[in-house]
Amino acid sequence: MQHWQFLRFGSSCLVLLCVCDSMSALAAEHWIATGVAKQDITPNHPVLLGGFGGRPGEHQGIDQKLWARSLAVGRRNPVVLVAVDSGGVPAHVVQRVALVLERRFGVTAARLVVCSTHTHNAPNLPGYAPVVWRGHTTPAQVRRVERYALWLEDMIVKVAAAALADRQDAVLAWGQGQTRFGGNRRALVGGKWRGFGFQRDGPVDHSVPVMTARNRQGSIFAIWVNYACHCTTVGSRNYVSGDWAGCANEEIEKGFPGAVALTTIGCGADVGPQPSGSLKIARRHGVTLGRVVKKVVEGSMETLASEPDAVQKSVRLPLANIPSRAEFERRAAVADYHGQHATLMLERLDQNGELEKTVPYTMTTWRFGKQLGLVFLAGEVVVDYAVRLKTELDGGRIWINAWANDVPSYIPSRRILREGGYEAEFSQIYYGLPASYAPGIEDQIVAEVHQLLGPTFRTGEGQLTRDQFQFPTGNEWLSERLGPWLVELPGSELTKMSRLRRLARVSQSGFAAITSPSPILSTWFNYTGTQQERPFIRQETKGTALAWRTPAVTVTAGKEPVVLLFLGSVGWSSEPATAGFQLSLNGKEALVFDITRRIDEWVSTDARVRLDYFPTWISDLDSAGLFYLQVAAGLLEDQTPVNVRVTSLGAGSKRWFAIDTIRDVKSVEKIVHQALQVRSP
């Protein structure tokens, strides 16, 4: 018996040793030389920022440092990624960097990718969207832009060299999560572009691919993440920052001490952050992405078994019909962006005799065997490309990056060219291109990506969830974002919630229909923190009014007040202050209120009418949320609608009031108060 047990024990040890040896051999095969580095690229002199036209001049301060971050993968024939906090790094910069890296390290241009985070709060670079600042600069400002650009080239080389020097044995793994703060920004009417806003049923890509590198001690030292959304949360504030991508890097590095985070942007050219309006909101998006990364890392990630191979191809994208010289001469007579663009076109005609009919375009792919195909597309690529490629190919093994190696322009899809508007038409003015693209560019780019990735990625389950390409409904979105937002509120604000809880028990709907004839409509952020078209008034003229009718109200004798709930927003706190807004009920003046960005209240002189405000979205200048209008029962008739009117008491200011035309306010109220129960004061 003892001999048999010994044999069994010996056999078990032999099996265990064999298993351990096999695991060691397998792990050894999975060691991939990987290095990471980051370099501060914050400007140290005044410089013009890119991304928005109409800024008043060079930047006025620094909200957040800018960085160039690099990841080098492979020992003998490495690939190098550099993620730069920039609106756009033009091809001529990438080409000069590539020449240096090839000479010094043997890294060919095909194995280098420079991705821009497309923050709109980074220095402008020569060659990027050249018409944005054309005609609005001084020679000294131009010299400072050029000085920063030359220094940035050196910093990109420096950070890439540091990542190459930092290479060590690592286990690379990847996985995917989801986040949903990106919403389609193209507002449409009748299938045509009407302006920037929020198109809830427009396509999005909520996937969040994540790659990690662990050293031999098991510590994560590099994390690469990607999301398809514009970096425009902060708005046109003339301060340097990395926007939500920079905030995401900070949050990830805080959660994984000792690691360097790299954030790149997917096909999000027509996708904007929801909500937006301040650096605080950008930080909130960064926290959101950091939580997604943590969840992916703590979940089941796939270990990559081989170094990547890299393939790069350049094609030319055809433009549609180019206007005649006479047409450009006509346009040049106007002193606006169209005029500046036309003047540039005339200069090119004088120099070259004709205008280019095609645009050079670069695509790169990295393939980690059959496990993962990474796609890098130049330009501001709209989300339709992600939707189509992840549908036609195995979306569960595809990772798509845009703003890669060049930013020649927006890259519109066939759908967007049909709808027209900014990404299809006017953006070509900013980018100095003579005409819109021909509709065939979508099929051309998609076909090239198919060819570059090869047949391996054309089959598979896809592993895509149903809601990956859809934005949540308004109340779903409010429910998702309200809880984390309430956590940020100071306790002093939360102590004011008790009266709102009481009001919620007895509130009635305070909106049924707009009664103002032909009210002015505008698209801006509503109570959910997403953009919606709503009636509004500005205080540019005294007496401007907005009126609406409530449903028939229930008045209970001896019990007061009647509580009417409506949803709305107020804003532009940087505009000149005025006497505020007059709120009237059934033709009688009741109380005066004003714009605010906090929990607030206003009471009539006789204390018979009161207005309580609870914001559910706040930016640097505006807010939106719930208005509780409390009216003494004796002022209202039972089962009769109330006519409400808001009138401007000031003039010469762009301060505004808007109402959300939501009848089912009780469902909104329920979401808010459920969130409040979780975070009690």
Mean pLDDT of 289-318: 96
Whether residue 399 has pLDDT greater than 50: yes
Per-residue pLDDT, 198: 84
CB atoms under 10 Å from CB of 455, counted, come to 8
Q: How far apart are CA 495 and CA 680, in angstroms?
A: 8
Per-residue pLDDT, 467: 55
Do 128 and 88 touch, CB atoms closer than 8 A?
yes
Mean pLDDT of 196-224: 93
Please state the domain extents for the chain. 25-268+308-319+360-469, 323-356, 474-678
Alpha helices in 68-113 (DSSP H): 91-105
Q: How far apart are CA 605 and CA 613, in angstroms?
A: 18
Torsion angle in degrees (nearest 10) through CA of 336, 342, 345, 350: -120
Q: What does the mean pLDDT of the chain come to?
A: 90
Of 470, 481, 472, 471, give the one whose Cα is nearest residue 275: 481
Percent of the chain with pLDDT over 90: 76
Lowest mean pLDDT among 114-118, 272-276, 301-305, 497-501: 497-501
Q: How far apart are CA 273 and CA 185, in angstroms?
A: 9
Q: How do 302-303 and 171-178 pair as beta strands?
A: antiparallel
Q: What is the pLDDT of residues 128-173, one digit of tens each?
A: 999 999 999 999 999 999 999 999 999 999 999 999 999 999 999 9
Whether residue 42 has pLDDT greater than 50: yes
Per-residue pLDDT, 543: 96
Q: What is the pLDDT of residues 478-510, one digit of tens each?
A: 776 666 666 666 666 666 666 777 888 889 999
Whether residue 121 has pLDDT greater than 60: yes
Do 95 and 411 touch, CB atoms closer than 8 A?
no
β-bridge mates for residue 525, sequence order:
531
Whether residue 632 has pLDDT greater than 90: yes
Q: How do 239-240 and 609-618 pair as beta strands?
A: unpaired
Per-residue pLDDT, 484: 64
Of 223, 231, 222, 226, give the one whose Cα is nearest residue 208: 226
Of 142, 131, 137, give the one whose Cα is nearest residue 342: 131
Per-residue pLDDT, 6: 35
Show the tokens assigned to 352.
Answer: 């070259």
Start-to-end C-alpha separation, the chain:
69
Q: How far apart are CA 265 and CA 231, in angstroms?
A: 9
Q: Which helix (H) or strand (E) holds 498?
A: helix 497-506
Q: What is the CATH number of domain 474-678?
A: 2.60.120
Put residue 525 in one of left, alpha, beta given phi > 0 → left and psi -120 to 50 → alpha.
Answer: beta
Q: Does a cis peptide bond (omega within 30 degrees of 0) precede residue 561?
A: yes
Per-residue pLDDT, 69: 98
Longest dimension (CA), the chain: 104
Q: Helix, strand or coil for residue 269?
A: coil
Q: How far apart are CA 98 and CA 85, in angstroms?
A: 19
Q: Which residues contact 143 (CB under 8 A, 6 or more apart)?
A: none
Per-residue pLDDT, 492: 65
Q: What is the pLDDT of residues 563-580, one digit of tens each?
A: 999 999 999 999 999 999
Show the tokens assigned to 98.
Answer: 């590539």
Lowest mean pLDDT among 9-23, 174-188, 427-441: 9-23
Residue, of 308 and 474, whose pLDDT is higher: 308
Lowest mean pLDDT among 41-55, 163-177, 424-438, 522-536: 522-536
Per-residue pLDDT, 25: 39
pLDDT band at 101 (very low <50, low <70, confident <90, very high): very high
Q: Which residues contact 342 (CB under 8 A, 6 or more apart)?
A: 328, 329, 330, 331, 332, 334
Q: What is the pLDDT of residues 510-560, one digit of tens each?
A: 999 999 999 999 888 888 887 788 999 999 999 999 999 999 999 987 777
Of 430, 442, 343, give the one whose Cα is nearest residue 389: 442
Q: How far apart are CA 361 and CA 433, in angstroms?
A: 13
pLDDT band at 10 (very low <50, low <70, confident <90, very high): very low
Q: How far apart are CA 151 and CA 275, in angstroms?
A: 34
Whether residue 245 has pLDDT greater than 90: yes
Mean pLDDT of 446-462: 84
| pTM to 2 decimal places | 0.76
Query: Which residue bears the tokens 């010469």?
Result: 652
> To 5 degrees, how large is the angle CA 215–CA 221–CA 224?
120
Q: How far apart are CA 161 and CA 148, in angstroms?
A: 20
Q: What is the pLDDT of residues 58-100, one digit of tens each?
A: 999 999 999 999 999 999 999 999 999 999 999 999 999 999 9
Percent of the chain with pLDDT over 70: 90
